[in-house]
């Protein structure tokens, strides 16, 4: 399998969730996945049953187009950017929300050139180190979810039949505490 940037990636066990979004527009600074159809499937994966303190906390996000038509997706503020530019996941440990420490990027409204096309049968994926975006320091089990509700984005199409929440989830286990950095890497950037 190849990700958006032509890098080879390996696929582990997959927890799959069906995307049920027909179309929604990007408004505000939040999470966006646009013009998806019910033919898309998304998943989040981790490759180790447990992680030690020095291990990268890699999670892979995958979109698969099972349909017969191309799908347009806006990768902004989604895992498809392969870097944290906004809090794109919900991360919890023992029911407590884990703080986002990554950078925040503000950008102008998207243009047609900002979208990518996922062809029928195509799989696109991206890998991120959760430690680059979230304050994951204490040993334990972390629930990582990716949820986008088009209605919360203010999209007028969100009320249309067949539109729902885009979701994927996985669990990451940290077997030992990680050192807390002296200063978080949180920063803000304007593009």
Confirm whether pTM is higher than 0.85: no
Residue 148 belongs to what domain range? 15-190
Q: Does 150 fall in a domain?
A: yes
Q: Does 28 fall in a domain?
A: yes
Q: Does 2 fall in a domain?
A: no
Q: Does 9 fall in a domain?
A: no
Instruction: Please tell me the distance from the alpha carbon of residue 191 to that of residue 178, in angstroms, as a whole number.
Output: 32
Q: Does 3 fall in a domain?
A: no
Asked which of 10-24, 133-147, 172-186 is least confident by mean pLDDT, the reply is 10-24
Contact 139, 50 (CB under 8 A): no
Q: Does 32 fall in a domain?
A: yes
pLDDT in tens, 13-51: 223 222 222 222 222 222 333 334 467 788 999 988 899
The CATH number for 30's domain is 2.60.40.2970
- Confidence (pLDDT) at 72: 86
What does each C-alpha distance from 32 to 3, 12, 89, 130 come to in angstroms?
Answer: 19, 25, 12, 19
Q: Does 6 fall in a domain?
A: no
Number of domains composing the chain: 1
Look up residue 35 and give its two tokens. 């013009």
């Amino acid at each position: 399998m190849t990700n958006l940037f032509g890098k080879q990636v390996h696929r582990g066990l997959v927890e799959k969730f069906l995307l049920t979004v027909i179309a929604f527009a990007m408004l505000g600074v939040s999470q966006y996945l646009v013009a998806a159809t019910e033919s898309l499937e998304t998943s989040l994966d981790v490759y180790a049953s447990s992680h030690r303190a020095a291990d990268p906390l890699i999670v892979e996000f995958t979109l698969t187009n099972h349909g017969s038509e191309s799908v347009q997706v806006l990768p902004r503020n989604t895992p498809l950017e392969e870097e944290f530019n906004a809090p794109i996941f919900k991360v919890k440990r023992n029911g407590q929300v884990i703080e986002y420490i990554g950078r925040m990027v503000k950008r102008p409204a998207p243009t047609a050139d900002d979208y990518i096309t996922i062809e029928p049968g195509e799989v696109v994926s991206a890998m991120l180190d959760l430690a680059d975006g979230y304050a994951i320091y204490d040993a334990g089990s972390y629930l990582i979810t990716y949820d986008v509700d088009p209605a919360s984005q203010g999209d007028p199409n969100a009320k249309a039949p067949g539109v729902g929440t885009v979701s994927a989830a996985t669990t990451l286990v940290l077997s030992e505490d990680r050192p807390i950095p002296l200063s978080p890497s949180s920063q803000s950037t304007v593009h």
